[in-house]
Amino acid sequence: MNKQILVLHTGGTISMQADGSGAVNSSQDNPMNHVAVPLDGIEVTVVDFFNVPSPHITPQHMLELYQKIKADADQYDGVVITHGTDTLEETAYFLDTMDLPDIPVVLTGAMRSSNELGSDGVYNYLTALRVASDEKSRGKGVLVVMNDEVHAAKYVTKTHTTNVSTFQTPTHGPLGLVMKQEILYFKTAEPRVRFDLTSISGLVPIIPAYAGMKTEVLDMLDWQKLDGLIIEAFGAGNLPKETAETLTAMAESGLPIALVSRCFNGIAEPVYAYEGGGVKLHQAGIMFVKELNAPKARIKLLIALNVGLSGQALRDYIEG
């Protein structure tokens, strides 16, 4: 029996075309809709769900994708989402935290538009279909498939502005590889907490730390109007002394503040006990997000706030 795969197109470079000057823009006629699927045992149902550049994607778009997949999942054996690469990892992580049915959900995209030399869109699309139709892909969470690699949504990130091998998983490496004849997995997915959201809202900005950062930067925030805050800190989780004092006051007032490292590899943890060091920040109530980058930590905090987590339950989830 053929595997039934739902394809949700959302826009992005994979659906775009370059003009005579080399500028890339959206196309009303998605070229992926004209791609033949020369894969035995796979039937696709294609839905043009959105047609937006991924910098225009919002958590509301992500929620609508989740609701569509959940509503239709019993009709399909897997789902492929084509998506712009700039925010693909955020959408993938959002979906990975949702209460999706246990079928493969795979996101893919392209670094070169459909009419550029060496375009990678069709190949990534077809390999994503192969992964979504493979029984071994079940139970591994939401997956990102690009350039013959299979990555876990939680850890994958875009690492290069233009290179086709841009999606990498720092520290951990990919879950598997797309081979000529099979999908080879050499890692298992981690257990995860999943939620069923019906709406999402909230103001949670990201503030990066830098050498010489002054508290005036934080003072410019009307932080009483914030629902939460993500801080991208130095190293294992450290900040300039002045800004640490202000953030401590904000956290003690009840504002949920989560901290990540700005480092490409490694884990945020409270190590240093000097003023501004992670130990004192953690003691003040700032939550350490161990293995996520800032955009994904923001998604995690938004979801937690929208399901009503607070106090110790919020801290346990954010730091878990």
Active site residues: 13, 85
Alpha-carbon span 58 to 180, nearest angstrom: 36
Alpha-carbon span 33 to 44, nearest angstrom: 11
Check whether 86 is labelled as a binding-site residue.
Answer: yes
Per-residue b or e along 223-258, where b marks 16 or more CB atoms closer than 10 Å to that residue's CB: beebebbbbbbbbbbbbbebbbbbbbebbeeebbbb
Check whether 199 is labelled as a binding-site residue.
Answer: no
Alpha-carbon span 189 to 140, nearest angstrom: 5
Per-residue b or e along 177-207, where b marks 16 or more CB atoms closer than 10 Å to that residue's CB: ebeeeebebeeebeeeeeeebeebebebeeb
Name residues whose C-beta falls within 8 Å of residue 301's C-beta, 6 or more positions apart in sequence: 204, 228, 230, 256, 258, 318
Check whether 102 is labelled as a binding-site residue.
Answer: no
Please name the helix (run of DSSP H) or strand (run of DSSP E) that holds residue 22, with its range, or none.
Answer: none
State the binding site for substrate. Answer: 54, 85-86
State the binding site. Answer: 54, 85-86
